[in-house]
Structure formats: structure tokens, C-alpha cells
Structure 1
């Protein structure tokens, strides 16, 4: 059963006192067997509790939460934008708690007793601007700390090296947490980490410990405006996002890298050479029927590609050869007129192979309308200019020996919200990959 109430609500019951915009309680008919004996509160059997203000105000009235002991059966507790200053120590009594969202609150730390919550796996503390540190919560798998501007360290780290492996952390968000001083030292302790978001931070080089996180599959560095170079990424990293890193000059990928998707859109200081292009295409690990995609600034199809054409599609007849066709390297030039900015997310690429001999790609990039503002906060007109990007593709496929031509076809798909921005595909190009090419690559030391 669910009970939900919305409006300007004043809550005053037991150990709660304060205002909220929305409250919701969910109950189970049967409580866990461990709690069927002994005294029961009127909240016995509550599965989840949501108490929410829709917007956080730094000077908002503090919601009082003196105790949580009455909610012994909770699996989920969401107390959002309530300006709570202290979380009570008896939170440790919520032995079935699996997930909590305490975003938008004013506490500086969390109770050490939270170490006693064995089932707790997911914690969101976004925009807790006064939070400075977390206890040694080794049981957590997902932690979201975006916008915790005063956070100085992630967790209390055990001194004994053999205890580092106790952390179960899989996903970590520390976007816009510019005061963290020990992140480079601590990341290496999380040996199971697969997803890290370090976006909107102020480091100039990648934290050195990143290369030691061998389990890492996704790394987000979007809008790290002081970042100048990216190197030393883990060999098994599959997704690297660095959109809007406006100071980024160099990116280096390791030999036999695993990158499936690389987004360097709006990184206009990136040096325009073909070294990164060849690293991405030739030094990566290929999977049949699973194309790899990259995007970075560029105005024309590089000379790396043999077949170049103005427009959205191009087809050629295949030359006679004893070598088998295995795939292609492709490039599409996309132009977008500012103030619209484009970003290529994992969902931007919709593709299919048509009758084996054609590769069809539909680009569904995200559009952002950006404006400059004066010192007085007034919007300034941005001079009309285009920002061109290269979309790079490597596609490997087991082609039939009987095909006699090959081509690529591309198009932009714009949402109704952005039907009018001046975005277009200017040109395309591709080079064919023959079996002998890959055999030579394997033989090369």
C-alpha cells in the first residue's frame, strides 16, 4: 500500500518536525521474520519513506530529524532538500536499509554507526554543500556526491593495506567536488570500481591512480575546463567522455586499448593531428558487429581515408582482390551553428548493416543552447559561427565473399525541440579493411 501527500505540508510527529512539499510512505503487508517478535511501532512494516522539498535553498529552514528508530523495516529512505543538519546515530537500527537519498541537506558528516548497515548499497548525497567526509562505508556499491563543494576526502581509508580490498564500490559520482584533496590517493583503493564521474573538476592532468583501477569501464571528465592532457587510462576502459574540456590539448590512448566510445566534442584546443585518429582506429581491440565510435573537433575528412565525398552517403565498387573484406574505417563531418553546442552520448549512434554491403548511421546528438552573460548578468548575443566535428567509426563484419560494392549512408535526427538549429552533415569518407591489413597488424611487434 502507498500513501502519498503533496502540497505545503508541515510534519510534526514523533521525532520529525519541519515543512515539506511531498511525503510518501510504502508498506508491506508482512514484515521480515526477524522483526515479527517484540514491540511494534505504528510504522512497523513501512518499506520506504520519502520526505521531499522540490527545491534546495541554502537558507531554508532546517527539518528536524531526532530519531529514525521507528522505521525498523525500511529498505529505502529519501530525505531530500530538507536542510537537515544532523543525522541521528540510531540510523544503525535500520538493518534492512538498502538505498538512501539524502541530497540537498546541511550536515557536515555522517554517523559512524552507518558502518553497521550491512545491506546498504546505494547512497546519494548530491548537493550536500557542507559535507566534508564520509565514514569507512565499505559495503556501498553506488555513491553519488555531485555538487558536494566542501567535500575534502571520500572515505576514511584503513591504514592496513590488506583492508583496502574490503571496499565494494562499483560506481562513483564526484562531479563538481573541487575541494577533494586526496582523490588520486583514494581511487586506487577501490579495486572493483567500474564507473567514475569526475566531471566539472579543476585538475589539469588525470589523477595518476586512474591507471591502477583495472576494473574501470567508464570514465567521465566532461567540462573539466582546466584539464590539458589525458593519458594513462586503464587498458580495459570502454567509454571515455570529455565533452567541453576547453583547455584539453592532448589525448593518448594505449596500445590495444578497449575504447568503444570516445567523446571529445567541444574540445577546441585539441591539437588537430592524425595521431589520435590512428590510435583510436588501429590500436584498439575490434569486435565483430560492434562498431567503435569517436567524436572530436575537425573541419574536413582527414587524408587517412581513401574515399571522400561531399554529402551524407557514398558507395564504391569493390576492387578484385584475393583478400577478404572485413570492415571499414569511416568519418562523417557534422557542422553545427552556434550558440547551439552538440554532444555525442552513447545513445547518439543508431546504426544497422543493410544487405551486408551498406552501413547506415543515424546521428541523434544532444543539442545545448549556450549563451554568454555580461558582468551584470545580462545575456549577450554570441557571434554566429560554426563548430565542426568529426564522427569516427570503425566497423568489423564477416562479409560475404560475393559482394561487389560497399557504401555508408548517414543522417541527422533532430528532436522536435531542435528542428531549426543549423546542423548538417557536410561530407563523409571511408577506408576499407581487408583481412591482409589485420594480419599485418598482428605480425607487427
Structure 2
């Protein structure tokens, strides 16, 4: 019955065998039919019912087998009854909904993205809530400490546009939490207990890039998760990184762009699983410490960066590919990094500022191609491959610098057979 002209449904119908109702895009429907006798109903889909104002308690009472209540894009919806017995409730883009209903302990997934709620919801305990989406809630000002009692909560999304400035102090009590996403917010205070979460894998706390207030967060010496793989602390305005950063032994991706620290803890070299480090726009950082072998580094616009303690991290096993970029790092002393011996085992895309190809490259040419007219012993174990250096002018698109290099390698055998290899590199 999608995109229909249903306005209302009079009376109470005996619909005991009904298990699926889809009235999506019923643009003239201001209230839903009385479904109180549809006791076996599992799915109630009301997506895009733009005239729907409220759902009365009597219309959905006795729906104890409800699996999904979909109210996405009900842009005029102002109220919901408390204690809805559904495993999933989706209120995405219900722009006029200001007060979240009391949630029954049966609800496992609750999506409030784009609503007008100002404070977090009340949840019946013991709660089974696994996923809570509060993203794009532009009026959200606070989170109740009761949210920390959600023992089964795995995913919490707070990103974009909220007025939320702090997280509850008991955040470390969310023992099942695996993913916290609060990127592009104005959060000023984060409890140190957040890194005690035993199952936390991904922590995104990056703030909007024009937020001037430094983050109020002091990590104690015992902070550290045995499971966290991804951390984003971008735009925190941090002047000092936690000394125990190297204790996060499972960390693979670390985003620290837009901060004000002058140095990085030396124990970062102990992060053996680290694959990517973003320190872009770290304008006060002067020295890049010793890093794990093979980590990819994005250091664009780190204008004070002068040296790299040990360039060996640029080398890596041949089975892992990654990119490293030092765009606009004009103070960096390249002569100590790019030399013939250090580059013999490169297996990476690396971008440095400069306007010439190092002289130790054997074959050089002006233009977009070069020809090597000689035989190569492909079976010689000392032959590792080709290392190419090119000078390109920067691209610019929608305010963002970007570099895309496409390489074509044509190999011809003595009998005239040709094989072409193509690779594209975005830096």
C-alpha cells in the first residue's frame, strides 16, 4: 500500500493473522489505523507519512511481537507513546519530535538521528539496547548518566551538529561498547574512563575544525584498552599527547590531525599493529619520532616539521601497500630521508614537497614518459622492481588539494610480446 492516499481507518479491525503492514508515503494520513487487535504484527512500516502527527497508545497496544517500527521521514510527528514493544524503532528525520518516548526494555535498536530532542532518553532497565543513534540531533544538549547503565550497548552515534559538550563520567561502565562515534561535535570534556572499555574497537571523537576550545581530558597511567583498533582525536587542540599512547597494543589507525602538540611519545614505536597515522595540520610538531615499520603517514600541512628520527618506517614488507604524504612540509630536510640506499626497498607511494628528481635516479627525462632500452634479468633474486620519481603540480578541487598519478608500465620481450601494467595512486 505504498504511496497511497489513506487518510484514516475507522474502527477496530480483527487482524489477528496480520504480520506485516506497509503504509509508506501515505502523505494524507494524520493518524494510523487502530491495530490493537493485530496481536501477531511484526512489521509496521510508516516511512514518509509526512502528515502523521502522533501515534496514540490505544492504536498499537497489544503489539507485543513487533520486530520493527519504521517512522523515518515522518516530519510532522510530535509524540509517541511510552513503552513501545518493538525490537527496532527508527525515527530518522522526525524533525519535530522534541521529547523521546520512554523506551521499553525490549528495544534493541533505536534510531533518533535528525530529531529535535534536547536530552537523552529514559530507558527501562534491564535494557537490551544494542545500538543507539543520536547523530544529527542539533538540539541535543546533554546525556543522562543513566545511559551508562546500558550493559548491552555496543554502538553509540553522536556525530554532527549536536550542542553536546561533555560525556557522562561513568562512560567506562558501558562494558559492551564497541564503537563510539561523536565526530564533528563541540565536545569539550571526555572522561578518561572511556579507554577502560574492554571491547571498544573504534573511537571517533574528532571535533569540528573551527572549535577553538581545547579538550579537557587527562588520561591516567592505567588507561588503556586491549581491543581498540581505531582512534580519531582530530581537532582536539591538544598541546600534549598521553604518554601511555604506546600501550594500545591493538591500535591500527590513529588520527591526530589539527592538534597543537610539539612532540609525540617515544613509545609510539611499540604500536606494532599500527598501519596508518594522520598528523596533518600539526603546525607545532618539529620532530617525527621513530615509528613502527611500514606505517603509512599523512603529515600534510605540518609546517614546522623539520626531521624524521628514523626514516626506516618508510620501508615495509612487499605484501602491504600504503601511502605517505608530506605535502607543504617545506622545512623537512629531504637529503636525510631520500637517498639511494634508503630507497632500495621502498614499496609505497610517498609525496614530498620539491621541484626536482634526485640525481641518483639512473634514468631521467622531461615529459610524461621514459624508455628503458635494455634487457633485465627478471629471475635475478636481487632484482626488486622499479622505483619511479616524478614531479607534478598540485591539483585543486572544491578547496581541497589532491594528487592523482596514473602509471603505465609497458614491458616488451625480445620476441615482441608486450605486457602493460597500470597503477593509479591518489595522494
TM-score (norm 1): 0.62
Query: Could you say which residue in structure 1 is the equivalent of 2:189?
Result: 131
Query: Could you say which residue in structure 1 is the equivalent of 2:110?
Result: 49
> May I ask how many residue pairs the two structures share in their alignment?
322
Instruction: Tell me the SS of whatever aligns to 2:389.
Output: strand
Query: Could you say which residue in structure 2 is the equivalent of 1:206?
Result: 264
Structure 2 portions without partners, runs of 5+:
1-67, 84-90, 96-101, 317-321, 413-418
CA distance in 1, matches of 2:367, 2:205: 44
CA distance in 2, matches of 1:336, 1:252: 28
- The structure with the largest alpha-carbon Rg is 2
In the TM superposition, what whole-angstrom CA distance separates every residue of 1:202-245 from its partner, at most 9, and x where no partner exists? 1233333322323322111111122222131123x421111121
1:151 aligned to which of 212, 215, 227: 215
Query: Could you say which residue in structure 2 is the equivalent of 1:170?
Result: 229
User: Deviating runs (4+, > 6 A) in structure 1?
Assistant: 320-323, 337-340
The answer on 1:271 being equivalent to 2:342 is: no
1:22 aligned to which of 93, 106, 109: 93
1:99 aligned to which of 152, 155, 158: 155
Measured after TM superposition, the shift of residue 334 of structure 1 is: 0.4
In the TM superposition, what whole-angstrom CA distance separates every residue of 1:35-87 from its partner, at most 9, and x where no partner exists? xxxxxx87454332222349xxxxxx970335223793332111124454442
The answer on 1:78 being equivalent to 2:133 is: yes
Contact 2:281–2:303 (Cα < 8 Å) also in 1: yes
Please give the residue correspondences for 1:283-362 in structure 2 after superposition, counting only pairs within 5 Å.
Answer: 284=345, 291-318=347-374, 324=380, 325-336=383-394, 342-344=401-403, 348=404, 354-355=410-411, 359-362=421-424
Contact 2:258–2:281 (Cα < 8 Å) also in 1: yes
Contact 1:145–1:175 (Cα < 8 Å) also in 2: yes
The answer on 1:220 being equivalent to 2:278 is: yes
CA distance in 2, matches of 1:117, 1:338: 44
Aligned-residue Cα RMSD (Å) equals 3.6
2:292 aligned to which of 231, 234, 244: 234
Higher relative contact order (CA 8 A, sep 6+): 1
Measured after TM superposition, the shift of residue 180 of structure 1 is: 6.0
In the TM superposition, what whole-angstrom CA distance separates every residue of 1:82-113 from its partner, at most 9, and x where no partner exists? 4544423332453332111123342423241x
Measured after TM superposition, the shift of residue 280 of structure 1 is: 5.3
CA distance in 2, matches of 1:276, 1:310: 21
Q: 1:63 to 1:10 in 2, by over 3 A?
A: farther
Instruction: Tell me the SS of whatever aligns to 2:393.
Output: strand
